[in-house]
Structure 1
Amino acid sequence: MRASPRQQWTARDRAPGARPRVIVVGAGIGGLSTGCYAQMSGMESRVFEKHVLPGGCCTAWSRDGYVFDYCIEWLIGTAPGNDAHRVWRELGALDGKTIRNFDVFNTVVAEDGRSVSFYNDPDRLERHLLDLAPADARLIRSFCRDLRRFADVDLFPFLKPTPLLSLREKARTVRTVVPLLNLLRRTAGTPMAAFAERFQDPLLRRALPFIFFQDHEGFPLLPYLFNMAGAHRLNAGFPQGGSLGLARSVEERYTSLGGRIDYRARVERILVEGDRAVGVELRGGERHYADHVVAACDGATTLDRLLGGRHSSPRADQLFQSMLRTSHLVYPGVVSVFVGLRGDVPADTPHSTTHLLSDADSARLPGVLQKSLVVQLRSRFSDGLAPPGRSVIHCTYFSDYASWKALRAGDRRAYWALKRQTADFVREFLDRRHPGLAGRVDVIDVATPVTTERYTGNLHGSILAWKSFTDADDPLQALIDKDRMRLPGLAGLSLVGQWFTGGGLIRVASGGRFAVQYLCQELGLPFRAWESTGRDAWHPGKLGRLPQLDQSMR
């Protein structure tokens, strides 16, 4: 007799002949990806999510008919013909969607009004920069020459972890890398900050590190060139439906493959017997069992709360005991200010602008870390984010978590007052750039790093976990390649998500693919993956019912 759906998960042992059971903790992109590949590879999976929506940080919420899209600014893999695109197609993430591409990656405006536009087209960028700063011609031509060379670079291993590559695949990788070796070494070894300091023009010297909206301190030239080149070949666009739309599409793909998601199901601990994870216990005491558990949630939460601090590894200790305390290795949180507006701003306003703030403005902006404010016209990124005749502006800045946390914990009224101060500054700042705008504001919603932590569970509200091109790279890569996304000494548990695979949506999504490939090898199952065939046109109704981020969540 076949076990009932309830018995299938509450029984300690799997029924004879039944498919291997996999429990996934967290319905972020990493967890949903893991579930999709587990289903395609012949396993039976179930995802437990404490929230009411999929996506984790890849999310949105609603206020007064506006949709405030939180996560995606650009998505690697929006053009066919590369590994990242294949992953998104396998996950159904782009099913039925149009892609919005921009000619300019970002515009940076200084306090004196001078601006520089970072065009994705290297020829157009070179002409623009030479007009701005002819004295820096040599450096400008060097930067644009390297940007052209990155046009065909597609080296990130999104399909298969290194230990599982065949000899033929390794040889093919070597043949691809060798001609680019000098370019990669040089651009990976040249810090953007040091490169920018070589410019004579004061605007370019300050603006170059802000190509990625905020200054990703410690980044070398390589990621700037790689992503701008991707955008030039339309491989770093914005998918229709935005962040939550991406999560909803992957959710739909997962359930169409037979997977099950339980929302409002908070996992309190991972059940361990001897040296093996065997299931999870939910809040309320209900227990569910599986052959394998995948933790696809916050890293510190997994190690400290779900495992009770009793299981770790040298590499996990290095990351979460030593490096986590080193602020320059972890991305800060952000403050997001969404502005719902009647009408729009002039059509020639850049879709994304980083404003370098004066000392006086910086002093008024609570918790600002880099004296800069990013202003994005989000309703131009995708349809359906604002009611007809209205628009959404999204303002963000890197911000200190500790001060927001201490204030919310110690004086809730003062915390809300500081959020109002932030909203007032943004309204006044935007009105300076577009006189009369303040009188057309319908709603302003402020989310702090504490909001992100409460909403998603991500430690300190960090948006991308570990910073790339830092000392965190080696232990993180070793956790993926040598530890195979496991904790040595504890069987039956895999680690997925930005704290274990690196930040960025494509890395998180491919991390789910990696984890299932490792698991298939262990179980003796063939790994299987195929592209989704969903072609129904995307529409805003697919977002479903959106929560309002009320005061209890902030």
Structure 2
Amino acid sequence: MADDHDDWASPERTPGTPPRVIVVGAGVAGLATGCYAQMSGARTRIFEKHVLPGGCCTAWSRDGYLFDYCIEWLIGTSPGNDAHQVWSELGALDGKTVTNFELFNKVEDADGRSVTFYNDPDRLEAHLLGISPADARQIRAFTRDLRRFIDIELYPFLTAPALRSVRERARTLRTVLPAFRLFWRTAATPMHVFADRFQDPLLRRAFRNIFFQDPQGFPLLPYLFNMAAAHHGNAGFPQGGSLGLSRSIEERYRGLGGSVTYRARTERVLVEKDRAVGVELRNGKRYFAEHIVSACDGRTTVYGLLGGRYTGPRIDRLYTDVLHRPGALFPAVVSAFVGLRGDLAPGEAHSTTHLLAPDDAARLPGALQDSLVIQARSRYSAGFAPPGHSVLHCTYFSDFAHWKDLRTRNRKEYRLRKREVADLVRDFLERRTPGTADRIELIDIATPATAHRYTGNLNGSILAWKAFSEADDLCARMVGRDRMRLPGLSGFSMAGQWIGMGGLIRAASTGRFAAQYLCRELGLEFRAQKSEGAGPWHPGKLGRLPRLDRSSARKDDVS
């Protein structure tokens, strides 16, 4: 829906019209910002460099297969909590079914021993005791804490920290105080420390990989929180997947009167007298507004769009100190999508982390860990594979610099490394289930360099700063104390994972927070209403799907 007032090219707003807000980036955070600003009476425009919404929350297609890139589980898929309310306001789940799984992840070692992390604590406890009775004390400690987290509901995603009312703060305290020692202890205990207490070597490795691969440095708390959410059906997989989620929010945004311009890369934010007044695109066109929100890569925002002119102690610490520490960012990933003729084995878990033998691990280019995650994606949602076919998503944490250097220096060698990934995946799947190799129709590889090329995310990181770190503390202060603003610059704010940390519900909530803060500045009343829905979801709503590269990694033509 186009704006009725064509004054975006003018520094002066048309008299009597609502304030204008420009959003840079049509990821989940940018779309959420636009939705909430529109609901609150502002006029908004979003500029996006790519041809699709969603940023990393996306998908692409090839030969009838849909390769869903982002969502593994989504917090807020079950009604009755604040996270679900955010998705309901954004129309993200309108008309969709949700797939829930009885297990969070399965971990299998090179000898075929496996651990299944059931979401039911009773079933999980019995399963783990069957594997290692000698670890009963440690097992019961974990499942006891999981039961306690199942009884807690804490989703602080509705109101920006600096704007929370006394009633909201009191409600949070009523939830937190009785479980304070539980939160403190599980937040202070690193998973690797907890896992090392197991006597069984498989359990020591398996617990580190509940989140598919070991994010390293995470404490117990997020594992328990997410497994508890999954137990309640509040961490399911929405119909339509990642791009489906983004398209639904885009549909909601357009229905509210917002406008998205694709293939529109923002080159700089226009500033006059320390106030952001507009943006200039790569094509030289300028657009003006009363407030600018950057919902794209954080470093690009601070040092690219704004030229590094507006920083402060927290920004400087993030980007000149914390950023350069090993493990500051959530690792980038290599993705290998495998298209297969026929169905998957009936008893196969939807997600399995394979702990690789040394020979296999050595064959993975740029690998940061010796494991490979295989997800049966065609079990997550219908429509990911043609009828009578299946699709697997194989991933591993990988070094961005390895792939970026290859792609920059030698495209031929870059393609050869991608071939090596495809070959390892094909060989591994064949050894795991004989006959699989003959059923493979294609293998499509996306590297960390691919993620960087299409989203601009620093180092190709999907989840930005690693949680439960100094970066987490600094970002929390930026959202709360700084109100998502940069020092010395008015009329400007940031949203997204580079300021609000990783996870889709966090990204969406930063859009809500940014809108709440800018409403205060622009004299608008913040308003949010649940979407009325737009009928049942269907694959046609995905729109035209791109291909990332011109050739597939086929059995006889890997590129």
Q: Give the Cα–Cα distance (whole angstroms) in 2 for the partners of residues 154 and 313 of structure 1.
A: 35
Match in the other structure for 1:70: 69
Asked if 1:374 is matched to 2:364, the reply is no
Separation in 1 of the partners of 2:146 and 2:49?
43
* Higher deviation after alignment, 166-175 or 226-235: 166-175
Equivalent position of 2:555 in the other structure: none
Aligned 8 A contact 2:3 2:259 in 1 = no
CA RMSD of aligned residues (A): 1.4
The answer to whether residue 197 in structure 2 is matched with residue 234 in structure 1 is no
Does 1:321 find its partner at 2:320?
A: yes
Structure 2 gap segments, 5+ residues each: 553-558
1:431 aligns with 2:430: yes
Q: Report if aligned partners of 2:115, 2:128 keep a CA contact under 8 Å in 1.
A: yes
Measured in 2, the distance between the counterparts of 1:549 and 1:313 equals 38
Q: CA deviation at 1:149?
A: 0.5
Kept after mapping to 1: 8 A contact 2:3/2:258: no
* Segments of 4+ moved more than 4 angstroms: 3-6, 551-554
Offset at residue 400 of structure 1 (A): 0.7
Paired residue type of 1:430: L
TM-score after normalising by structure 1: 0.98
Aligned-pair identity (%): 66
- Cα contact 1:188–1:222 (8 A) shared by 2: yes
Which amino acid is the alignment partner of residue 390 of structure 2? S
String of CA shifts for 1:58-105, please: whole Å, max 9, x gaps: 000001010000000000000011110000000000000000000010
Q: Is the 8 A contact 1:35 1:46 kept in 2?
A: yes
1:246 aligns with 2:251: no
- The CA deviation at 1:4 is 7.9
- Give the Cα separation in 1 of the matches to 2:55 and 2:468: 24
Shift of 1:5: 4.8
- Check whether the contact 1:329–1:472 (CA below 8 A) recurs between aligned residues: yes
Change (3 A) 1:401 1:552: farther
Q: Deviations over 1:297-336 (max 9, x none)?
A: 0111111211122222221111112111112121111000
- Cα separation, 1, equivalents of 2:534 and 2:20: 30
Q: Are the aligned partners of 2:378 and 2:384 in contact in 1 as well (CA < 8 Å)?
A: yes
TM-score, normalised to structure 2, is 0.97
Q: For 1:245 and 1:156, locate their aligned partners in 2 and report how far apart those are by CA, in whole Å.
A: 23
Please tell me the residue identity of whatever aligns with 1:206.
R
AA matched with 2:187: A
> Is this contact kept in 2: 1:466–1:503, CA < 8 A?
yes
Asked if residue 452 in structure 1 is aligned to residue 448 in structure 2, the reply is no
> For 2:503 and 2:551, how far apart are their aligned partners in 1?
28
* Separation of aligned partners in 2, 1:79 and 1:102: 13
Specify the alignment match of 1:30 in structure 2. Answer: 29
The answer to whether 1:550 aligns with 2:549 is yes
The corresponding residue for 1:384 is: 383
2:260 corresponds to 1:261: yes
- Give SS of 1:472's match: helix
1:353 maps to what in 2?
A: 352
Q: What is aligned with 1:411? A: 410
Q: 1:551, CA displacement in angstroms?
A: 5.0
Q: Which moved more, 1:173-182 or 1:394-403?
A: 173-182
Deviation at 1:292, TM superposition (A): 0.3
Does 1:467 pair with 2:466?
Answer: yes
The amino acid that maps onto 2:477 is A
1:159-174 matches, cutoff 5 A: 159-174=158-173
Deviation (angstroms), 1:471: 1.4
Query: Which residue does 1:11 correspond to in 2?
Result: 10
Instruction: Show the 5 A alignment for 1:261-340.
Output: 261-340=260-339
In 1: Cα distance, 2:282 partner to 2:184 partner: 49
Give me the whole-angstrom Cα distance separating, in 2, the residues matched to 1:535 and 1:321.
46
8 Å CA contact retained: 1:345, 1:434: no
State the Cα deviation string for residues 182-228 of structure 1 (Å, max 9, x = none): 11111111111000100011110111010000001011111000000
Q: Deviations over 1:28-57 (max 9, x none)?
A: 000000000000000000000111100000
Structure 2 match to 1:440: 439
Determine if the alignment matches structure 1 residue 203 to structure 2 residue 202: yes
Which residue of the partner structure matches residue 114 of structure 1?
Answer: 113
- My pick for the range that moved more, 126-135 or 3-12, is 3-12
Distance 2:164 2:407 in 1: 49
Confirm or deny: 8 A CA contact 1:57 1:71 kept in the other structure.
yes
Q: Could you tell me which amino acid in structure 1 is paired with residue 36 of structure 2?
A: Y
**Residue 155 of structure 1: how far off its partner (Å):** 2.2
Deviations 1:413-454 (A, max 9, x none): 000011011101101101111101111111110000000000
1:179, CA displacement in angstroms?
0.5
- Secondary structure at 1:425 match in 2: helix
Q: Cα gap change, 1:268/1:5 in structure 2, threshold over 3 Å: closer, same or farther?
A: farther
Distance of 1:436 and 1:213 partners within structure 2: 26
Bigger CA drift: 418-427 or 155-164?
Answer: 155-164
The residue number in structure 1 matching 2:223 is: 224
CA apart distance, 1:552: 10
Give structure 1 stretches of 5+ with no counterpart. none
Q: Distance in 2 between matches of 1:85 and 1:423?
A: 38
Q: Distance in 1 between matches of 2:9 and 2:116?
A: 58
> Over residues 211-257 of structure 1, what are the superposed CA-to-partner deviations in whole Å (9 max), with x where a residue is unaligned?
00000101111100000010001000000000000000000000000
Q: Which residue in the other structure is 1:482 paired with?
A: 481
Contact 1:100 1:238 in 2 (8 A): yes
Aligned partner of 1:363 in structure 2 is: 362
1:105 matched to which residue of 2?
Answer: 104
CA distance in 1, matches of 2:71, 2:151: 24
SS at structure 1 position matched to 2:7: helix
Q: CA deviation at 1:152?
A: 2.8
| 1:524 shift after superposition | 2.1
Partner of 1:508: 507
**1:345, CA displacement in angstroms?**
2.4
Q: Does structure 1 retain, via aligned residues, the 8 Å contact 2:29–2:495?
A: yes
Going from structure 1 to structure 2, the CA distance change for 1:552 and 1:378 (only over 3 Å counts) comes to closer
Please tell me whether the aligned partners of residues 153 and 175 of structure 2 are also in contact (alpha carbons under 8 angstroms).
Answer: no
State the match for 1:401 in structure 2: 400
The separation in 2 between residues aligned to 1:501 and 1:177, in whole angstroms, is 21
**Secondary structure in structure 1 of the residue aligned to 2:499:** helix
The amino acid that maps onto 1:250 is: I
Take 1:7 and 1:183, find their aligned partners in 2: how far apart are those partners? Answer: 55
How many corresponding residue pairs? 552
SS at match of 1:204: helix
Q: CA deviation at 1:167?
A: 1.4
- 2:443 alignment partner, SS class: strand
Deviation, 1:156, is: 3.5
Is the Cα–Cα contact under 8 Å of residues 486 and 495 in structure 1 kept in the other structure?
Answer: yes
> Is 532-541 or 366-375 further displaced after alignment?
532-541
Does 1:57 find its partner at 2:53? no
Q: Distance in 2 between matches of 1:416 and 1:535?
A: 43
Aligned partners of 2:27 and 2:295 also within 8 Å: yes
- Structure 1 residue 153 displacement after superposition: 2.1
Give the aligned residue type for 1:418: R
Residue 156 (structure 2) pairs with residue 157 (structure 1): yes
Cα deviations across residues 323-375 of structure 1 (Å, max 9, x unaligned)? Answer: 11112121111000000110122110111000001111111111111100000
